[in-house]
Amino acid sequence: GNQKATHSENSQGKKSQHAEEAIFYMNCRAAYLTVLKSSLENIKSKEQLSLVLQQAGRNPSQKTINKYWTTQTTSLNFDDFCDILKKEKPATKNELLEAFGKIDTDKAGYILHDELCKILTTRGDKMTWEEVTSITKQAEFNCSGKLDYNKFCELYLTTSEQCCKAARARLETDPRLRQQHFGNQPGNFSEGITLPVSKPSPRVSRKTDHKLAKGDSRAPSRPSSAQSSKASTSTTVTVGTSSSRSTKLIIEPDTMKEWQCAQSKGCFYLEEDGEIISHKYRLHLPQRSAVCITIKPFSIPQAQGKSCRWLSVDTALFILKESETQENLQLVSFTELQNEEMFGWRGELGAGVYWLLPFTTGCRLRKIKTQIAGEAKLVWRDEDGELALTEEFRAALLDVFETIDLDGNGLLSLEEYNFFELRTSGEKCDQEAWAVCKENFEMKKNELTRQGFLDLNLMEANDRDGDPWDLWVTLLSLGYNKALEMTEACPFVVAIRAERCKPRIKAISLEAGGSQLSRAVCRSVVNKGEAKVLDGSENIFIYTYRSGSRISSVIENKSENKVIIHVNNEQSSNCLNNRGLTVFAVEVAPKSMMVSQHVMALNEQEEWIYSCVHSLV
């Protein structure tokens, strides 16, 4: 009886979850189709992205738009839009009141008209006077020029909800659009990649028992939830306990010790919404040469003895050749050799400029709820009443210094410091401000020393009279939790060795992977992986590729119509994927391909089984 009750509760829970997902995707599609003619039409500009987000009840800042529309973005599809909406939650009344409360220091419940205008036009995502005027016209200021911001918050939320209702109403009244309610569950790299001229897929098999990699065992598997009447295919890979990280490949043999080397540090940062951003690099080779390119998590010296969770994060580098236009970067290769935590690639590259795009699947670098005993103390006052940094905070700041010192020379250049500033404040430090830093903090050769960096943070604490708020904003944006543990970032180091010339590497940006990385990931799986035709549907292919400790799958739709693919991992064991879901669905546009999922072992000390069924909905 208890088992039946539990089963009934689980069934009800699943039904409730499916209902919530259905409503979410209906709202996504309603907002999308208010701006675009079809869910298969792509968003082609920042302005379109802003409009469609507003129709979904969001109020995106320019910083938010820039986060999703990077310098490499040319378009975003419906899957990307759903992903953005999942990350950008609508503002709640409490959040709005809290923001106004920081301005209303007297807690009177009102804010002056002039003060509001000044803040909106001078701070953060600065607005124009015209934009401010359009807002204040809708707000109710009393005769003293004061705004009751509690009422204003209610007006804001009501307007936002009206946008959503209007979009849904349009969807409900159009029978053609109403048939498209079904959505999908996008992942970190779910952008639909339009294919060039169609060509036969390599290594295609219609069987379910071909091998993925030497030594892997396979068995057909169809979970009970996969409907046999629909086109489907199953893939099973069993990976032994010794297969994940003990691929003892000598990536950098002794013969390379005489080769010229260049290297740079970098970092993956986990955003509040779960998106991952990282440094991107430009590599210059003055002449053709044999090269070895590696990436691995970076062990910070000051972190010895501490739990370094990021050392288990998977890393990779995608090597792209620069052409006349950045939009047409060509995938050369990627780091598929593995030795413990290091991934590498060896080969020959011609003279020219290349882009190195770091990548992690997101299987290990993800939001995890942990219990923290207490908040660490950052500053204290000595017997003379002077503020000082605690030893624990000093150690964390020195760890930060090691991470942002990209060239590893023990000093911070203006360029390196600006990556830090962009990450923590969203702004850059110009030459004039850097000159002021030089007057107040220790520098060598116009670069900030470790002591200078510590003193700069102490000055920030003094500016706030000991209030650690701004210091915590900095630490949290760099992946630290309130116990001063780095849990949402993964520092890494990229190294290039060249036999016949001196390579040069330079960090160019700090941003999300974008369409270039998404395209490279898809191409690598299609080029290297084994392909299966979806049984009963000759134009849909599932590519599966195992690279070291991870398995990736890509769906290719060669047909003239969009398809919705149901993905079921219920028979997998000891696995985790980048989507965080066991069962989900993806919509693949005509003549395109997209990542289905990335999978890794949950516990590398035990055998893990990847068993996945892809079926056509």
Out of 3.40.720, 1.20.1250, 2.60.40, 3.40.50, select the CATH number for domain 232-246+516-616.
Answer: 2.60.40
Q: What is the residue extent of each domain of the chain?
A: 14-87, 93-176, 232-246+516-616, 370-487
Query: Confidence band (pLDDT; 50, 70, 90) for 293?
Result: very high
Using the 8-state DSSP alphabet, how is residue 28 labeled?
H
Query: Confidence band (pLDDT; 50, 70, 90) for 174?
Result: low
Is it the case that residue 442 has pLDDT exceeding 80?
A: yes
Residues 541-566, mean pLDDT to the nearest whole number = 92
Task: Kindly state the helix (H) or strand (E) to which residue 398 belongs, with its residue range.
Answer: helix 391-404
Residue 226: the pLDDT is 36
Task: Kindly state the helix (H) or strand (E) to which residue 477 belongs, with its residue range.
Answer: helix 469-477
**Both structure tokens of 397:** 């700041």
> Measured at the alpha carbon of residue 549, what is the angle toward residues 548 and 553, in degrees to the nearest 5?
85
Measure Cα distances from 116 to 64, 138, 145 in Å: 22, 14, 11
Across-strand partners of 321?
330, 354
Packing angle of the helix pair 93-103, 113-122 (nearest 10 deg): 100
**Both structure tokens of 341:** 């935590």
Give the integer Cα–Cα distance in Å for 455 and 175.
65
Q: Which of 25, 26, 152 is nearest to 91 (CA)?
A: 152
CA dihedral (224, 229, 231, 233) positive or negative: positive
Residue 186: the pLDDT is 34
Query: Confidence band (pLDDT; 50, 70, 90) for 249?
Result: low
- For 217, list phi and psi in degrees, rounded to 5: -105, 145
Q: Under DSSP, is residue 44 helix (H, G, I), strand (E, B) or coil?
A: coil
Q: What is the CATH number of domain 370-487?
A: 1.10.238.10
Say if CB 518 and CB 77 are below 8 A apart. Answer: no
Highest mean pLDDT among 114-123, 133-142, 190-199, 550-559: 550-559
Residue 210: the pLDDT is 35
Residues 387-393, mean pLDDT to the nearest whole number = 94
Q: Under DSSP, is residue 604 helix (H, G, I), strand (E, B) or coil?
A: coil
DSSP-assigned states of every residue in 548-594: TTEEEEEEEE-SSS-EEEEEE-TT-BSEEETT--SEEEEEE-TTEEE
Q: What is the CATH number of domain 93-176?
A: 1.10.238.10
Give the integer Cα–Cα distance in Å for 542 and 526.
9
Q: Under DSSP, is residue 268 helix (H, G, I), strand (E, B) or coil?
A: strand
**Both structure tokens of 368:** 């995890």
Give the integer Cα–Cα distance in Å for 530 and 541.
10
Residue 214: the pLDDT is 32
Residue 24: the pLDDT is 81
Give the integer Cα–Cα distance in Å for 210 and 208.
6
Is it the case that residue 187 has pLDDT exceeding 60?
A: no
Give the integer Cα–Cα distance in Å for 513 and 357.
7
Give the integer Cα–Cα distance in Å for 25 and 180.
10
Chain-wide mean pLDDT for the chain?
81
**Both structure tokens of 93:** 């009344």
**How many CB atoms within 10 Å of residue 496?**
25
- Range in 96-100, 561-565, 590-594 the model is least confident about: 96-100
Which is more confident, 259 or 163? 259
Which is more confident, 229 or 240? 240
Query: Confidence band (pLDDT; 50, 70, 90) for 250?
Result: low
Residue 360: the pLDDT is 95
Give the integer Cα–Cα distance in Å for 278 and 489.
10
Residues 584-609, mean pLDDT to the nearest whole number = 91
What is the pTM (predicted TM-score) of this model?
Answer: 0.67
**Both structure tokens of 541:** 């292919």
Say if CB 295 and CB 492 are below 8 A apart. Answer: yes
Measured in whole angstroms, how far is the alpha carbon of residue 608 from the centre of its chain? 26
Residues 396-423, mean pLDDT to the nearest whole number = 95
Task: Kindly state the helix (H) or strand (E) to which residue 233 belongs, with its residue range.
Answer: strand 232-239
Give the integer Cα–Cα distance in Å for 378 and 537.
60
Query: Confidence band (pLDDT; 50, 70, 90) for 255?
Result: confident
Could you check whether 232-246+516-616 and 370-487 share the same CATH topology?
Answer: no
